[in-house]
Amino acid sequence: MRTFAKSNPKTKSKSSKFYVTTAIDYTNSSPHVGHAYQKIAADVLARWNRSLGNKTYFLTGTDEHGLKILRAAEAAGKSPKEFVDALSGEFKDAWQALNLSYDRFIRTTDADHKKIVQKFVKHIQKDIYKGVYKGNYCVGCEAYLPDDDIVSGKCKIHQKPVEYIEEETYFFKMSKYAAPLLDYYKKHPEFVKPYGRLEEVKQRILREGLRDLAITRAKFSWGVPFPLDKKHVCYVWFEALQNYITALGWPSGAKFKKFWPADYHLLGKDNTWFHAVIWPALLMSAGIKLPKTIAVNGWVTVNGQKISKSLGNVIDPKYLAKKYGADAVRYYLLREAPYGEDLDFTEANLINRHNAELADELGNLVARVLTLLEKFSNRKVPKAKKQKAEDVELIAQFDDTVRHTKELISELEFHRALEKIFAYIKLANKYVADEKPWELAKQNSQHLNTVLYNLTESLRVITALIAPFLPETAEKITKQLGLNAVPQLKKLDWGKLKVGTETKRGENLFEKVDAEKIGVVEPFEKLDLRVAQIMAVDEVPGADNLYKLKLNVGKIGFKQIVAGLKRHYEPKELKNKKIVIVANLKPAKLKGVVSQGMLLAAEDSAKNVGILTVNETEPGADVFIVGIDKKPVENLDLSEFIKITLTTKAGSVYYKDKFLQTYKEKVKVEKVKEGAVR
């Protein structure tokens, strides 16, 4: 597991300025949930720092030049400018729907960007020379590929043939910066997060060295004109990287002086090389300070698969924000997985978190406290009297929560920060249950006002903590608490809530979503997997690969299943084995024989087939994945089963990184090492 290494305390932003950037997205296709993930992280950092009182600048935008866009525009029958205008607009719309509070949305077609890039080229002219580039280019990557990244003539990432190019170009003397970069990494282990990524970069430089970088193209004109030669345009990556300083008006702009160096460049793991090697080399050449930290996030997959147009699993962030609310999407994405690791997006999990955490914990607490104030204090915040031990505990936990959350955010541990904040919300809910204000009211207890004050105050501080993650919700709670402005993290001390503040109960913050009703259910939930023992194996007349198996499924009874195993197993190899079946599959007829379910077997790329087995477990027992409830449906359609991808690795069977098991043992697979269950 990759975790963000503890950063050097020196690099913690104690200063009063904060500059965060995101990857600028390439405008050759529409925004999806993978783009949104990183932008939301940047937004949380920006809002968090503003709330701490730091002068903050948050930059995002779009990368709009290059051959890939030119070709995509041609394919769409548009001019490149028309094409990027439309797509850039889509990104802006999506970010608005997710409530991103960026200070500037830069487009690499912006006039100031182009002008400053040209200035930058002249500034590093000493490191630029003319030559001829010979090599393989991947349009998908918009990059010349080293031999390492080409497998049988194709780009490793894009699986498309590379194009051999031989052309006149200008080079940047990157080779010159190999030693300075290695030296810099050594002195600044916090330069790339998570730490393992920097190690990969280092190893590659040590292995391959650094080649000079071709920074211009002469075969097309969709780019920033190269100021040293009119026949050339700047190579897209070379100029796009500069957006982080062009946006601030390098070299003399006030913003540049105030905000550079960046505290964080957030980017996806496929962009690590460009940001950890090329960008710092360019900055070194220009004599500009390097950014403090490059934070690499994992990829977002959807239901275990890579996001791609051809798989039809591109999820529009605007659609999600509309369906569940921006806050639920923001919360889910940052709570679901550690920021440096891959995240598997499923709507079912989003709904689970929305219901169990946002509605049941946070929404419930707010509704309870506001109702209590209405009933027992005429909606006004009462004065706290003597604090008892249990009250002191709630206050002490507040201090602890704030301190820890601050630390976790500075380490980009968003998921743990949210966990911490929600542990406090849980504690406040428990405080209500333990103190029973309604009983205190019956007894005319002095302690009632103290409890009501503490609860309302806990809502105020919780609002400050959640506001960067859940800005809309924070606004709503602020109104209900009768405060003028969303509470800030700066000087967030307990006890600042004014006695007499008039509160106003509002609507529920989160309405629970019925996943079943809207047709979003974790597909695995629908399966009823059971252990079955093979009692008899018979041939099926006229079928050269089928057996008819008689199975004992314990308390479920006996079943007959038809299985395509004849080419892979002798009957005696199967008899008495304990296997795994889908017990709730709609019965089907194969070659005229009824099959009441299906056995699970795996197949590898060499077409070896092996069945899933257990040893110790009795027939009829459940087969399951920890963390997924079983809600089997009757007569499950085969098409539903096919949606579920089970894989095998080292003899075990996995669903989304968790293994298939019974209450006694892991399920094993025969004959197949790495394969898929069919």
**Footprint on this chain of Zn ion (rule: CB under 5 A):** 138, 140-141, 155, 157-158
Q: Catalytic residue, from 306, 591, 643, 658: name it.
A: 306
Write down the catalytic residue from 119, 123, 158, 406.
Answer: 158
Closer CB to Zn ion, residue 154 or residue 385? Answer: 154
**Minimum distance, C-beta of residue 38 to Zn ion, in the bound complex (Å):** 20
Which positions ≥6 away from 337 have C-beta within 8 Å? Answer: 298, 343, 344, 415
- Give φ, ψ of 137 to 5 degrees: -120, 135
Minimum distance of Zn ion from residue 142's CB (angstroms): 8
**Both tokens of residue 291?**
């950014």
For this structure, is 32 an active site residue?
yes
Phi (first) and psi of residue 325, to 5 degrees: 90, 140
Question: In the complex with Zn ion, which residue's Cβ is closer, 162 or 198?
Answer: 162
26 or 177: CB nearest Zn ion: 26
As a whole number of angstroms, the distance between CA 482 and CA 492 comes to 17
Contact of 262 with 234, CB cutoff 8 Å: no
Kindly tell me which of 270 and 439 has the beta carbon lying closer to Zn ion.
Answer: 270
For the bound state, the minimum distance from the C-beta of residue 116 to Zn ion, rounded and expressed in Å, comes to: 29
Which residue shows structure tokens 């005429």?
Answer: 378
275 vs 404, which CB is nearer to Zn ion? Answer: 275
What's the min distance (Å) between Cβ of 157 and Zn ion? 5
The question of whether 568 is a catalytic residue gets the answer no
Q: How far apart, in whole angstroms, are the C-alpha atoms of residue 480 and residue 328?
A: 20
Measured CA to CA, the distance from residue 276 to residue 270 in angstroms comes to 11
DSSP alpha helix (H) spans, 216-314: 236-240, 243-246, 254-259, 272-273, 279-286
Q: How far is the CB of 140 from Zn ion (least distance, A)?
A: 4
Handedness of CA 508, 514, 518, 522 (dihedral sign): positive
The answer to whether residue 155 is catalytic is yes
Sheet with 213-214, strands from edge to edge, namely: 143-144, 128-138, 163-172, 213-214
Catalytic: which of 113, 138, 234, 265?
A: 138
Q: Which of 65, 114, 141, 232 is catalytic?
A: 141
From start to end of 100-183, where are the E strands? 104-107, 128-138, 143-144, 150-151, 154-155, 163-172
Residues 6+ positions from 577 with CB-CB distance below 8 Å: 533, 534, 611, 613
Query: Residue 155 or residue 425: which is nearer to Zn ion going by CB?
Result: 155
Which DSSP state fits 525?
Answer: G
| Amino acid making up residue 581 | I
- Give the residue with the Cβ less far from Zn ion, 86 or 150: 150
What's the min distance (Å) between Cβ of 163 and Zn ion?
11
C-beta of 130: minimal distance to Zn ion in Å? 26
Is 234 noted as a catalytic residue in this protein? no
With CA atoms as reference, report the closest residue to 144 among 135, 131, 153, 157. Answer: 135
From CA 31, how far away is CA 316, in angstroms rounded? Answer: 7
In the complex with Zn ion, which residue's Cβ is closer, 270 or 570?
Answer: 270
Catalytic entry in 155, 265, 548, 656: 155
Q: Which of 122, 309, 383, 496 is catalytic?
A: 309
- Shortest distance (Å) from residue 162 CB to Zn ion: 8
Cα torsion for 425, 428, 433, 435, to the nearest 10°? 180
| Phi, psi angles (nearest 5°) of residue 90 | -60, -40
- Asked if 348 contacts 125 with a C-beta cutoff of 8 angstroms, the reply is no
Catalytic residue numbers read: 32, 35, 138, 141, 155, 158, 306, 309
